[in-house]
Chains A and B, each alone.
Chain A
Amino acid sequence: MKNEQDANIKDNINGDINDNPILKKMYWVMRRNYIVRLLLIYMFPLILLVVYFQYQYNGLLTKSREHHLMSAAEGQSRILDIFIKERINNIINLIDNPSLSYPISSQELNKMFEKLHKDSDAFIDLGYLDTTSIQKGYAGPLQFLEKKYYKKEKWYDELINTNERYVITDIYLGLRKTPHFTIGAKIIINKKTIIFKTSLDPQKIYNYMTSLEKSKDIHILIVNNSGYYQLAPTEVGKPMKLSFYIPNKSLNIGIKETKDSRFYAFSWLASLNWAVIVKEKEDTVKSYFNLKIEIIIASIIFIAFLFFVIIYRSKNIVKVEKEKDMVLLQFEQASKLATVGELAAGIAHEIGNPLNIIANEVGIMQDYSNPKFKSTKTLQDMNPHYKKIISAVYRIKDINKKLLTFVSQKDNELREYNLNDLIEDLVSGFFEREMKVDNIEIIRKLNHNIPTILTDSNQLRQVLINLLTNAHDAIKPSGKITISTNANTDNIYIAVSDTGSGISQDKLRKIFLPFYTTKPVGKGTGLGLSVSYSIIKNLGGTITVDSKPGLGTTFTIILPVKR
């Protein structure tokens, strides 16, 4: 039975919390605030961190890509340099032969070419010409080149006019229609300048360069001084075509980023005016791009996850708050009932007495009509008795009304109230008579200039009842309770002072704790002051206590004027 009742109360309160639009809005605002707060606390730094991380990671990635490309360009150019220097050495060593005599027999020339070819299979052929610029001898696969006139060739002029022993041409197609380049080297035999020329196939060294493990993810391009491809993979360009990019000639080595975030690194060769350009393959670019996207997606997923956690958490927090409020409401309800219980003796007295009067008045009228008592009373004489009955009935009705306004849950809302009126109603309705019977004088010191206040009258009434009941219980055998109101610009003050026994310092500290009571068993629940405290706190105010043992206690409620 009792559990059923509890469940009912709980249901009612549940309903109150979920249906009340003000509460609903309050919880919504509470949740929104929690979300904003959690977002600010967790999300904001996290997003900053993620952005920072992205920025740093991209920088690092770019640096590493640049570094990788530049070192690749440098490495490749070095390989090519070494290759070319070796070939020059091969040819110089070959022709610096003291036993060499002019003219050179084709047998001798073939021998020399064989030697050369043994050094490197990049050598295609070997020929020689004199200052007449006509090829005098030739060893190699293209016999038709013999007797060819080379005067028109640029390299020939260059070699004749230079102090260097050799010249190296750019790559050209020439008569044989395959890309090759030529090294020309000169030697003076018997005061006669002899020029050897050898063609080299660059494809082999290029194949070697591109086949290296570290060249796997890059394209290697070789351009000449004027930016024409010397060697290039077919998907990028053809030899002799103008390069998409002409490296800066003032730098030995450099890097460039294009608008679509592709990187090119270049390195000029030491041995001739060629540059190696290294370019990331599209797959590599794509894999870097994908990596970036993956990290962004992971960050977004992480942030979204956290966001949902925050949303969920805020929901939970509000749920916990709701439950807390519900417990508080139940607690208040319980304390209200407890307060009613504490008032019960007073109420019984207030109702019992008029009932007693009615019963007696009816009784005496019965007596008058009883022949046993031989009454000579007329109907006229009944009038005072009727009046007494009526006044007793109204006394009960009055108490009933006051009692209902106190227990009523209905107008549990904020409205403008004049606290003086509220106090006046409460004191004259409930307490004055009971207090008088117990020899307690209630003194009102109400400041009639206090402003009205937006508050919950039921809750405030409950607090005042608690304070007055406590004051009543503290006074033995007789004394005074003073209720005063006052206000300044910010606050309204309600003070309830008694001339009772007072509260010692150690008890004063525990006075607002739930279930703390000094009243005899069955008299107090220990809920009144703790609930009063939470009520006043909920109304935006505070409640303080000041007590001198033996002299009395003053409770002061401070409520803000504007909420």
Chain B
Amino acid sequence: MNSMYENIQLLIVDDELDFLDTITERMELRGFVVTKAPNGEAALEAVKTKKYDIAILDLKMPGLDGKKVLEILKREHTNIEVVILTADGSSDVAEETSKLGAFCVITKPIDIEKLISVIILAYESRLKKDSGFLKQDFEIVS
């Protein structure tokens, strides 16, 4: 069953270290390959060295906050899907982040099964984008 998720490269960004450690361990238990980032700066550092499929991003963080990170990620790594984690489940957060290109918003406390299903959906979307990108390339070539 591990093989199912091995291909998905996950980046989890959260300043709550207790949460970050535990969720990473749980995702790894389920076969994901996870990179932890305790803040926005670390996340941006991480995407420079490795290609990630999905970033799970906390909104409220000291330093670069989630929105800023989302903006930069979407600008510089167009194909990465970003799942927003927030403790504030108000609708304007969802609206704002989706405008910035977030895949979806999950409210804390999170349900791991729900998170995984969202990740899978996001991954599928990411794959589609990849093929779309190729198609686009192809069209340009032809």
Summed over the interface, the residue pairs from A and B with CB atoms below 8 Å come to a total of: 81
A367-B26 Cα distance, complex, nearest whole Å: 7
Q: A437-B62, A438-B65 are in contact. Are A364 and B22 (CB under 8 A)?
A: yes
Contacting residues of chain B (51-102) with chain A, CB-CB under 8 angstroms: 60-63, 65, 68, 86-90, 92
- Mask, A333-348, CB within 8 Å of B = 1, is 0000000000001001
A-B contact pairs, 26 of them (CB 8 A): A345-B90, A348-B87, A348-B89, A349-B86, A349-B87, A349-B88, A352-B87, A352-B108, A352-B109, A356-B19, A357-B22, A358-B109, A360-B23, A361-B18, A361-B22, A364-B22, A364-B29, A373-B29, A385-B22, A388-B18, A388-B22, A392-B18, A437-B62, A438-B60, A439-B63, A522-B92
Contacting residues of chain A (437-482) with chain B, CB-CB under 8 angstroms: 437-439, 477
Chain A contacts to B: CB under 8 angstroms = 345, 348-353, 355-361, 363-364, 367, 373, 375, 385, 388, 391-392, 436-439, 477, 522
Quick check: B19 and A351 within 8 Å, CB to CB?
no
Main secondary structure of the interface of A (DSSP, over half): helix
A351: chain B residues at CB < 8 Å are: 87
Whether, in the assembled complex, B125 has its beta carbon less than 8 Å from a beta carbon of chain A, the answer is: no
A373-B112 Cα distance, complex, nearest whole Å: 15
Which A-chain residue is minimally distant from B107 (CB atoms)? A352
- Mask, B11-35, CB within 8 Å of A = 1, is 0000110110011011001100000
Quick check: B87 and A437 within 8 Å, CB to CB?
no
Quick check: B61 and A356 within 8 Å, CB to CB?
no
B111: chain A residues at CB < 8 Å are: 359
Q: A353-B16, A392-B18 are in contact. Are A359 and B109 (CB under 8 A)?
A: yes
Q: A349-B88, A437-B60, A439-B63 are in contact. Are A355 and B18 (CB under 8 A)?
A: no
Whether, in the assembled complex, B120 has its beta carbon less than 8 Å from a beta carbon of chain A, the answer is: no
A355-B23 Cα distance, complex, nearest whole Å: 14
How far is the CB of A445 from the nearest CB of chain B, in Å?
A: 22
Q: Which of B65, B109, B111, B112 has the most CB of A within 10 A?
A: B109
A389-B90 Cα distance, complex, nearest whole Å: 26
Whether, in the assembled complex, B110 has its beta carbon less than 8 Å from a beta carbon of chain A, the answer is: yes
A363-B65 Cα distance, complex, nearest whole Å: 27
A221-B135 Cα distance, complex, nearest whole Å: 143
A352-B108 Cα distance, complex, nearest whole Å: 6
A392-B87 Cα distance, complex, nearest whole Å: 14
A328-B109 Cα distance, complex, nearest whole Å: 40
How far is the CB of A480 from the nearest CB of chain B, in Å?
A: 14
How far is the CB of A437 from the nearest CB of chain B, in Å?
A: 5
How far is the CB of A295 from the nearest CB of chain B, in Å?
A: 78
B25: chain A residues at CB < 8 Å are: 364
Which A-chain residue is minimally distant from B61 (CB atoms)? A437
B88: chain A residues at CB < 8 Å are: 345, 348-349, 352
A257-B3 Cα distance, complex, nearest whole Å: 132
B15: chain A residues at CB < 8 Å are: 437
Q: Which of A353, A358, A391, A477 has the most CB of B within 10 A?
A: A353
Quick check: B108 and A355 within 8 Å, CB to CB?
yes
Quick check: A355 and B22 within 8 Å, CB to CB?
no
Which A-chain residue is minimally distant from B112 (CB atoms)? A363
Q: A360-B19, A367-B26, A437-B15 are in contact. Are A353 and B61 (CB under 8 A)?
A: no
Apart from A349-B60, A360-B26, A437-B65, list 14 A-B contacts with CB within 8 A: A348-B89, A350-B87, A352-B87, A352-B89, A352-B108, A353-B108, A356-B16, A357-B16, A357-B18, A360-B19, A364-B22, A367-B26, A367-B29, A438-B60
Which A-chain residue is minimally distant from B16 (CB atoms)? A353
A358-B109 Cα distance, complex, nearest whole Å: 8
Which A-chain residue is minimally distant from B26 (CB atoms)? A364
Quick check: B26 and A363 within 8 Å, CB to CB?
yes
How far is the CB of B65 from the nearest CB of chain A, in Å?
A: 7
A437: chain B residues at CB < 8 Å are: 15, 60-62, 65
A345-B19 Cα distance, complex, nearest whole Å: 20
A352: chain B residues at CB < 8 Å are: 86-89, 107-109
A436: chain B residues at CB < 8 Å are: 62
B26: chain A residues at CB < 8 Å are: 360, 363-364, 367
How far is the CB of A523 from the nearest CB of chain B, in Å?
A: 10
A359: chain B residues at CB < 8 Å are: 109-111
B110: chain A residues at CB < 8 Å are: 356, 359-360
Quick check: A356 and B60 within 8 Å, CB to CB?
no
A280-B92 Cα distance, complex, nearest whole Å: 100
A375-B30 Cα distance, complex, nearest whole Å: 12
How far is the CB of B90 from the nearest CB of chain A, in Å?
A: 7
The list of the 3 closest CB pairs from A to B, nearest first, reads: A352-B87, A359-B109, A356-B108
How far is the CB of B53 from the nearest CB of chain A, in Å?
A: 22
A388: chain B residues at CB < 8 Å are: 18, 22
Quick check: B109 and A355 within 8 Å, CB to CB?
yes
How far is the CB of B80 from the nearest CB of chain A, in Å?
A: 23
A364: chain B residues at CB < 8 Å are: 22, 25-26, 29
A350-B86 Cα distance, complex, nearest whole Å: 11
